[in-house]
C-alpha cells in the first residue's frame, strides 16, 4: 500500500517536472497568463450576451492585478477562464504554459491542482471536512501529505486552535482564512480571488486581504483579484478596468 502510494507520488512529481518544462519552452514572452482575442458568450432568450468580447491580457509571474468594473461587466467570467474552470468560445488562452484551448482533461486537472489557487466570495469549504482537512485537501487530491505545511498555514492564518472545527462552527472571516490557506497550500504560481471580502465585515475583510497579500508574497505567486472596493483596488499594483465584457484600461505598475 505504502509502496504504491509512493510510486504514485513519484509519477506525479515526474509529471509536474514535465509540466514545468513545457511551461519554460512554450512561454517565449515570459508571461504566466496570456489571452488573445478571448470571447465568452452566453445564450439569452433567442440571442446571446457577450460576457467577454475580445480580451487581450498578459500577466507576468508575481504580478498583482485588481479587476474592477460594474456588476455584470465580465469579471467573474474572466477569472473562471484564467482558473481553467471555464472554456473560451473564441480566442486563445494560455496559463502557466498550458494552452487551455487544446489541453487534455488530464493536463487541465494537473494545472488546476498544482499551479492555481482560488479564493471565492462564498468560501466554498467542504462542509463535512474540518478546517485542517480543508487546508490539506489540494495536497491530498494530488496524493501528497505534508502535515508541517498544513500546520504552518493554520498557524499563519490564526486558526491553529480551531483546526478541528467544521466550517459551520467558524465565523465567515475564519472560513475565508481557511480558504486562503487552502488556496496557497500547494504553492501555486497563480492565485485567483473573486470578491474575497464580499461576504465579510470590514475588519474580517481587512485581515483576509492582509493574509492574501502576505501568503502570495511568500509563494511568489501572481494574484488576480476581482473587487468592487476602490480602496482594495487602489492598494494593488495594477488595475484592469472592465465594461461590457471589454477592457477599458489597465493602469498602475
Ligand atoms: P461580473 O463578475 O463583473 O459581475 P459576470 O462575469 O458574472 O460579471 O457576468 C458577465 C455577463 O455574463 C453578465 O451579463 C451575466 O449576466 C452574464 N453571465 C454570466 N454567467 C452566465 C451564465 N452562466 N449564463 C448566462 N449568462 C451569464
What residue ranges do the domains of the chain occupy? Answer: 2-252
pLDDT in tens, 240-252: 999 999 999 999 9
The answer to whether the CB of 81 falls within 8 A of the CB of 38 is: yes
Phi then psi for 185, rounded to 5 degrees? -60, -35
pLDDT in tens, 120-130: 999 999 999 99
User: How much is the pLDDT for 17?
Assistant: 45
Rounded to the nearest whole angstrom, what is the distance from the C-alpha of residue 46 to the centroid of ligand 1?
A: 17
The CA-atom distances, in angstroms, between 227 and each of 1, 5, 133, 207 are 46, 41, 28, 16
Q: Mean pLDDT across the chain, nearest whole number?
A: 89
Higher-confidence residue: 27 or 208?
208
Mutate to test the pocket of ligand 1, among 39, 46, 51, 248 (most ligand atoms within 8 A of CB): 51
- Is 80 a pocket residue for ligand 1 (Cβ < 6 Å)? no
pLDDT at 187 exceeding the cut of 70:
yes
**Which residue's C-alpha cell is 509563494?**
219
What is the percent of the chain with per-residue pLDDT over 90, rounded to a whole number?
84
User: How much is the pLDDT for 8?
Assistant: 41
* Band of pLDDT at residue 211, cut at 50, 70 and 90: very high
pLDDT in tens, 146-172: 999 999 999 999 999 999 999 999 999
Strand extents, DSSP E, 45-158: 47-59, 64-68, 90-95, 98-99, 116-119
Cα separation, 15 vs 190, in Å, equals: 19
The CA-atom distances, in angstroms, between 82 and each of 6, 15, 154, 195, 236 are 32, 21, 27, 15, 19
pLDDT at 12 exceeding the cut of 50:
no
Place domain 2-252 in its CATH homologous superfamily.
P-loop containing nucleotide triphosphate hydrolases (3.40.50.300)
User: How much is the pLDDT for 29?
Assistant: 64
Query: From the CA atom positions of the chain, what is the Rg in Å?
Result: 18
Residue 80 alpha carbon, nearest atom of ligand 1: 6
Closest among 111, 76, 80 to 97, alpha carbons compared: 111
Closest among 99, 26, 76, 72 to 193, alpha carbons compared: 76
- Cut 0.85: pTM above it: yes
DSSP 45: T
Amino acid at each position: 500500500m505504502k509502496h504504491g502510494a509512493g510510486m504514485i507520488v513519484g509519477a506525479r512529481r515526474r509529471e509536474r517536472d514535465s509540466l514545468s518544462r513545457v511551461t519554460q519552452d512554450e512561454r517565449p514572452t515570459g508571461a504566466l497568463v496570456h489571452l488573445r482575442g478571448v470571447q465568452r458568450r452566453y445564450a439569452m432568450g433567442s440571442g446571446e450576451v457577450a460576457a467577454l468580447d475580445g480580451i487581450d491580457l498578459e500577466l507576468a509571474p508575481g504580478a498583482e492585478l485588481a479587476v474592477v468594473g460594474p456588476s455584470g461587466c465580465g469579471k467573474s467570467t474572466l477569472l473562471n477562464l484564467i482558473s481553467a474552470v471555464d472554456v473560451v468560445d473564441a480566442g486563445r488562452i494560455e496559463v502557466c504554459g498550458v494552452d487551455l484551448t487544446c489541453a487534455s482533461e488530464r493536463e487541465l486537472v494537473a494545472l488546476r491542482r498544482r499551479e492555481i489557487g482560488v479564493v471565492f466570495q462564498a468560501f466554498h469549504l467542504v462542509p463535512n471536512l474540518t478546517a485542517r482537512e480543508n487546508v490539506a485537501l489540494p495536497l491530498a487530491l494530488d496524493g501528497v501529505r505534508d502535515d508541517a505545511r498544513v500546520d504552518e498555514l493554520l498557524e499563519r492564518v490564526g486558526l491553529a486552535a480551531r483546526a478541528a472545527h467544521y466550517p459551520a462552527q467558524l465565523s465567515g472571516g475564519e472560513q475565508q482564512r481557511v480558504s486562503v490557506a487552502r488556496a496557497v497550500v500547494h504553492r501555486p504560481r497563480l492565485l485567483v480571488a473573486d470578491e474575497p471580502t464580499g461576504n465579510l465585515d470590514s475588519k474580517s475583510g481587512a485581515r483576509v486581504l492582509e493574509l492574501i497579500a502576505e501568503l502570495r508574497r511568500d509563494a511568489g505567486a501572481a494574484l488576480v483579484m476581482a473587487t468592487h472596493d476602490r480602496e482594495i483596488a487602489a492598494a494593488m499594483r495594477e488595475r484592469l478596468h472592465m465594461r461590457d465584457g471589454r477592457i477599458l484600461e489597465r493602469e498602475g505598475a
